[in-house]
């Protein structure tokens, strides 16, 4: 029996409603998948960022963590490396990173070593950026500069610039004379830190007075930290203050 126009209309409306419902369901599922994918990417990005930002800066150069260095070596030594482009499979990387390759590659992106990453299946493709090819040489150069600066800083502490106090144990200089020489040096060499160095010296003078009065050496952690903050820029000041305190301590022992 043929369907009436009303039945056909109802059937068409029901079919249309089902199609709309199916379309909405597919769109909702697609949005859910995209949302989950974005959340997973954010988790990977945040995890990588926490590692990258925790790595030390040496002479302005970011030293990568050991795992990232190993991943970079693998990419640099990959047989498929052509100019800067690499087609890779996950098995070129060590077994201990097989479950976290996404994080490792994200770290290299944040370190500025790779770009154009496209992952698929058990591999992917990417481009090595210029810093990747010179990373290990640049790292060693930064470490060498740091070592040189540290040696120069230590030497400046030993030499105290133009301040000559002689041997502490055999010095005949009084504490007052030493303080006077340090004050002169601050005026000559303190630069923009002159006022702060004078304030620190005043704190040191107060500490020495307390030592002389109490016949004991109190702990002054905050003062030591403030003095140490000037170790690199004003090594002469750090060294002079250390020797000054040593002179006061020897006076206490000899007294």
199-211 pLDDT per residue, tens: 888 888 888 888 7
The answer to whether the beta carbons of residues 123 and 89 sit under 8 Å apart is yes
Highest mean pLDDT range out of 4-8, 30-34, 104-108, 250-254? 104-108
Tell me how crowded residue 23 is: count the other CB atoms within 10 A of its CB.
10
How far is it, in rounded angstroms, from Cα 219 to Cα 190? 26
Task: Please tell me the class of the 57-137 domain.
Answer: mainly alpha
State residue 227's pLDDT score: 78
- 159 pLDDT band, cuts 50/70/90, is low
pLDDT per residue over 87-134, tens digit each?
999 999 999 999 999 999 999 999 999 999 999 889 999 999 999 999
Residue listed under structure tokens 């039945």:
7
The answer to whether the beta carbons of residues 114 and 128 sit under 8 Å apart is yes
Q: Is 114 exposed, middle or buried, given 0-12, 13-18 or 19+ CB atoms closer than 10 A?
A: buried
pLDDT per residue over 21-67, tens digit each?
888 888 888 888 888 878 888 899 999 999 999 999 999 999 999 99
Q: Is 231 exposed, middle or buried, given 0-12, 13-18 or 19+ CB atoms closer than 10 A?
A: middle
* pLDDT over 70 (residue 145): yes
Q: Where are the domains of the chain?
A: 57-137, 158-254
Tell me how crowded residue 66 is: count the other CB atoms within 10 A of its CB.
8
Q: Which of 178, 184, 180, 159 minimizes the C-alpha distance to 239?
A: 159
Chain centroid, CA 253 distance in Å: 44
């Amino acid at each position: 029996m043929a369907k009436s126009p009303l039945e056909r209309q109802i059937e068409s409306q029901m079919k249309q409603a089902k199609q709309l419902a199916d379309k909405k369901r597919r769109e909702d599922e697609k949005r859910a998948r995209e949302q989950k994918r974005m959340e997973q990417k954010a988790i990977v990005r945040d995890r990588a960022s926490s590692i990258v930002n925790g790595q030390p800066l040496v002479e302005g150069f970011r030293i990568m963590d050991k795992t990232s260095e190993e991943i970079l070596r693998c990419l640099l030594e990959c047989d498929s490396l052509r100019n800067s482009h690499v087609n890779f499979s996950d098995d070129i990387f060590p077994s201990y990173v097989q479950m976290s390759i996404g994080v490792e590659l994200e770290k290299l992106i944040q370190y500025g070593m790779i770009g154009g990453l496209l992952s698929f299946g058990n591999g992917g493709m990417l481009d090595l950026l210029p810093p990747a090819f010179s990373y290990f040489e640049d790292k060693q150069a930064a470490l060498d500069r740091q070592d040189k600066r540290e040696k120069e800083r230590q030497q400046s502490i030993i030499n105290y610039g133009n301040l000559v106090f002689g041997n502490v144990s055999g010095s005949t200089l009084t504490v007052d004379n030493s303080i006077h020489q340090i004050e002169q040096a601050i005026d000559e060499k303190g630069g923009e830190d002159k006022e702060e160095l004078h304030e620190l010296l005043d704190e040191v003078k107060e500490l020495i007075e307390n030592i002389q009065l109490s016949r004991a050496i109190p702990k002054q952690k905050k003062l030591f930290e403030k003095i140490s903050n000037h170790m690199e820029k004003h090594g002469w000041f750090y060294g002079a203050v250390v020797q000054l305190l040593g002179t006061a301590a020897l006076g206490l022992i000899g007294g």
